[in-house]
Structure 1
Amino acid sequence: MERALVVVSPEERSHRILREAGELAAGSGAELVVLTVLPDEEFERTRSALASVGSSDVVYGIDQAIESATRRAKGVAREAFEGLDLDYRIVADIGPEADTILETARWEGCDHLFISGRRRSPAGKLISRDLTQSVMLNFDGPVTVLLGEESSEDAKENEKGKSGLLA
């Protein structure tokens, strides 16, 4: 492993995946690229909400969104990498998550990818598109996945989907 991409999100698992990636990178002398992706929908939702406030002083564009995401990722990375001798840098982008992760990995020349995933029921896997699975299937190299439990929100979505399939 020479350069790895580690994907972070606002979830608690980001600290754990960052720490795991950081320890492996520090042990092998690899560089880490820490990526945070703001999905298009979330960017538009925030921009619309701020625009509805109606103040001409409030400007929320791509630059502000990327700056904010970068700041959050720096804070999480600094905490997760505490005590590690490690070269890393932060990259933030806006776009479709899977495509953005894969494009960034190619652009940065990453030979390993770290990402968090969720344990899902078999029905949940069938019903909803899974970001982690999509990235794993399309990345040309090793992918390390840290699995967490399915959230209650995911379980509710899966139940809705199951009832829709049976109807």
Structure 2
Amino acid sequence: MQRALVVVSPNERSNRILREAGELAAGSGAELVVLTVLPDEEFERTRSALADVGSSDVVYGIDQATESATRKAKRLAREALDDLDVDYRVVADIGPEVDSVLETAEAESCDHLFVSGRRRSPTGKLLSRDVTQTVMLNFDGPVTVLLGEESETEDDSNRKSRALA
């Protein structure tokens, strides 16, 4: 592993996947690229909500969204990787998640991916393909996936993590 892409979002599993990737990268001397993706729908929802407020002082465009996402991802990376000897940098993108992950991995010459996913029932797997599964099927290299439960919510994930600590 020379350079790995770690896909994060603001949740407890992102801290865990960052830590795992960081430990492996530190042990092998690899570099990490930390990617956060703001899906188009979320960007539009936020932009619409701010436009509805009606303040002419509020400007929310691609630059502001990217800057905000980058700040959040930097904070996550700093918290997870602070005590490790690993080089990393943060990249933010707005768009379809699968495309963003695969395009960033290619542009950054990443040879390994780290992503969080959900455990899903066999029926759930048949009904819809999720981002993690699509990325795994389309990335030409190893993919490490940290799984959570299908029905696990953000609050459930945080409670489980605190209970284990």
**How does the TM-score come out when normalised to structure 1?**
0.89
Q: 1 CA distance for matches of 2:116 and 2:63?
A: 26
Per the TM alignment, residue 129 of structure 1 is displaced from its structure 2 partner at its CA by 2.5
Match of 1:97 in 2: 97
Match of 1:26 in 2: 26
Does the C-alpha gap of structure 1 residues 17 and 152 become closer, same or farther in structure 2, counting only changes over 3 Å?
closer
SS of aligned partner of 2:4: strand
Match of 1:159 in 2: none
Per the TM alignment, residue 12 of structure 1 is displaced from its structure 2 partner at its CA by 1.3
**Counterpart residue type for residue 71 of structure 2:** R
Match of 2:6 in 1: 6
Q: 1 CA distance for matches of 2:61 and 2:44?
A: 9
**Contact 2:113/2:142 (<8 A) preserved:** yes
Unaligned runs of at least 5 residues, structure 1? 154-167
**Contact 2:33/2:90 (<8 A) preserved:** yes
Per the TM alignment, residue 152 of structure 1 is displaced from its structure 2 partner at its CA by 5.2
Unaligned runs of at least 5 residues, structure 2? 154-165
Q: 2 CA distance for matches of 1:18 and 1:92?
A: 15
Q: 2 CA distance for matches of 1:151 and 1:51?
A: 33
Match of 1:88 in 2: 88
Match of 1:149 in 2: 149
Question: How do 1:10-159 and structure 2 match up within 5 A?
Answer: 10-151=10-151
**Counterpart residue type for residue 127 of structure 1:** L
**How does the TM-score come out when normalised to structure 2?**
0.91
Q: 1 CA distance for matches of 2:132 and 2:14?
A: 14
Q: Which has the larger radius of gyration?
A: 1
Q: 2 CA distance for matches of 1:151 and 1:135?
A: 21
Moved over 4 A (4+): none
User: Aligned-residue CA RMSD in angstroms?
Assistant: 0.9
Q: 2 CA distance for matches of 1:41 and 1:125?
A: 23
Q: 2 CA distance for matches of 1:111 and 1:91?
A: 16
Q: 2 CA distance for matches of 1:139 and 1:85?
A: 27
**Contact 2:10/2:76 (<8 A) preserved:** no
Per the TM alignment, residue 128 of structure 1 is displaced from its structure 2 partner at its CA by 2.3
Q: 1 CA distance for matches of 2:152 and 2:30?
A: 37
SS of aligned partner of 1:90: strand
Residue identity over aligned pairs, in percent, reads 83
